[in-house]
Amino acid sequence: MNILSAVIAGVVASLVFSIVLGVAPKMGMPKMDIVSLLASMFSPRSNPVQGWMMHLMMGIVFALMYALLWSSGIGAPTWLGGLIFGAVHWLIVGMVMGMIPIMHVGIKSGTVQAPGLWMTNHGGFMAFMGGLIGHMIFGAVIAVVYAAL
- Torsion sign, CA atoms 100, 104, 109, 110: negative
Rank 24-28, 31-35, 127-131, 142-146 by mean pLDDT and report only the highest: 142-146
Q: Average pLDDT of the chain?
A: 93
At residue 111, the pLDDT reads 86
Query: Which domain does 88 fall in, by range?
Result: 3-148
pLDDT digits (tens, 9 = 90+) for 37-58: 899 898 888 899 999 999 999 9
CA atoms of 39 and 91, how far apart (whole Å): 23
In total, how many domains does the chain have? 1
Q: Report yes or no: 7 and 66 within 8 Å, Cβ to Cβ.
A: no
Q: Decide: pTM greater than 0.85.
A: yes
